[in-house]
């Protein structure tokens, strides 16, 4: 299986605090990787490093074999075009309507003609259950709808990799389940590689092909989520005890 993203000996510090300490990990193509860990352990930082919204203090991050730390602005844009990102707060542009937010990557990154633009955005609105809400502004939407708009925007260009930063934080369980269903549906349809940072451990592990646990600056990769239960590492055992409980329920509910 090919690694689409590789962390090689990555170190990231904030002041005296080491967030990532010589981390080596691979994210596999077409798979869903969940990054889990306590607050302040560097989960979101890892996503920002992948997108080069932050720079590591040392080490390399390779995307499709390319070291992104050495890229010019133009080449970096080419790499970023492979990604779709669903931000924690959705990060929709406040001054634009739902329709305009979803159309933004198409308008800016492609030469789609007006008719094609309209048809693709309208299709995305329907696909994500947003028909009839295209004229609304983000401030007029509920948290769950914002996430759906964010997911529609993230996937409109059929990206190779989609990053999810806490996709269900702040949502009630029913809406969180809707988001997971949408994620499951779109991943089946587009076949993208996904990396999910989440606190919602029991639910999100049902979607994972592999799991990365972040603890004290170290990343531990588990090829299968079930393997976490059998870890003898005391820190991982403590994490399992604190966070998972009845994690391995049936995935059918998704």
Partner 1 sequence: MIVRAIERLGATTSYHVSDLGRMAAFLGYTIIGCLRTPFRFGELVRQIRLIGVNSTPLILFIGLFTGMVLGLQGYYTLRKVGMEGTLGMLVSLSLIRELGPVLTALMVTGRAGSAMCAELGIMRNSEQFDALECMAIDPFRYLISPKFLATIIAMPILTIFFDLVGIFGGYLSGVVLLGVNPGAYMDGIVVKVLNEDINLGLYKSFSFALLVVWICTGRGYFVQQIKGAGFGAEGVSRVTTQAVVYTSIAVLLWNYLITAVFI
Residues that bind partner 1 (CB under 8 A): 48, 51, 53, 73, 76-78, 80-81, 83, 85, 87-89, 91-94, 104-105, 108-109, 153
Shortest distance, CB of residue 74 to partner 1, whole angstroms? 9
Distances (CA, A) of 69 to 49, 72, 92, 159: 9, 9, 27, 21
Q: Give least dist CB 91 to partner 1, A.
A: 4
* Structure tokens belonging to residue 110: 């492609």
Q: How far is the CB of 112 from partner 1 (least distance, A)?
A: 14
22/52 with CB nearer partner 1: 52
Dig out the tokens for 130 from the structure.
């947003």
Closest approach of partner 1 to the CB of residue 132, in Å: 24
Please identify, using beta-carbon distances, which residue of 92 and 236 lies nearer to partner 1: 92
Give the β-pairing of 58-63 and 66-67: antiparallel
Smaller CB distance to partner 1: residue 46 or 243? 46
- Whichever of 96 and 244 has its CB closer to partner 1, that residue is 96
Q: How far is the CB of 213 from partner 1 (least distance, A)?
A: 25
Minimum CB–partner distance for residue 52 and partner 1 (Å): 9
Cβ proximity to partner 1, 62 vs 91, nearer residue: 91
- Return the number of the residue (53 or 254) whose C-beta is nearest partner 1: 53
Indicate the Cα dihedral angle 242, 244, 245, 247, nearest 10°: 180
């Amino acid at each position: 299986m090919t690694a689409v993203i590789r962390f090689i000996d990555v170190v990231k510090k904030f002041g005296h605090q080491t967030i990532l300490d010589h981390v080596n990990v691979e994210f596999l193509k077409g798979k869903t990787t969940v990054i889990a860990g306590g607050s302040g352990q560097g989960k979101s930082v890892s996503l920002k490093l992948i997108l080069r919204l932050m720079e590591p203090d040392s080490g390399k991050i390779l995307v499709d074999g390319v070291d992104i730390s050495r890229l010019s602005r133009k080449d970096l844009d080419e790499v970023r075009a492979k990604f779709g990102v669903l931000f924690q707060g959705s990060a929709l542009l406040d001054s634009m309507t739902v329709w305009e937010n979803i159309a933004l990557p198409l308008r800016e990154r492609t030469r789609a003609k007006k008719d094609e633009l309209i048809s693709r955005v309208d299709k995305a609105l329907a696909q994500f259950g947003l028909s009839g809400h295209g004229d609304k502004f983000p401030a007029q939407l509920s948290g769950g709808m914002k996430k759906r708009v964010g997911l529609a925007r993230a996937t409109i260009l059929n990206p190779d990799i989609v990053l999810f930063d806490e996709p269900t934080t702040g949502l009630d369980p029913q809406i969180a389940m809707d988001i997971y269903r949408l994620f499951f549906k779109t991943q089946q349809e587009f076949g993208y590689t996904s990396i999910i940072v989440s606190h919602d451990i029991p639910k999100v592990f049902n979607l994972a092909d592999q799991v990365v646990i972040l603890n004290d600056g170290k990343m531990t990769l588990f090829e299968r989520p079930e393997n976490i239960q059998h870890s003898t590492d005391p820190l991982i055992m403590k994490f399992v005890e604190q966070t998972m409980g009845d994690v391995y329920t049936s995935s059918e509910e998704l």
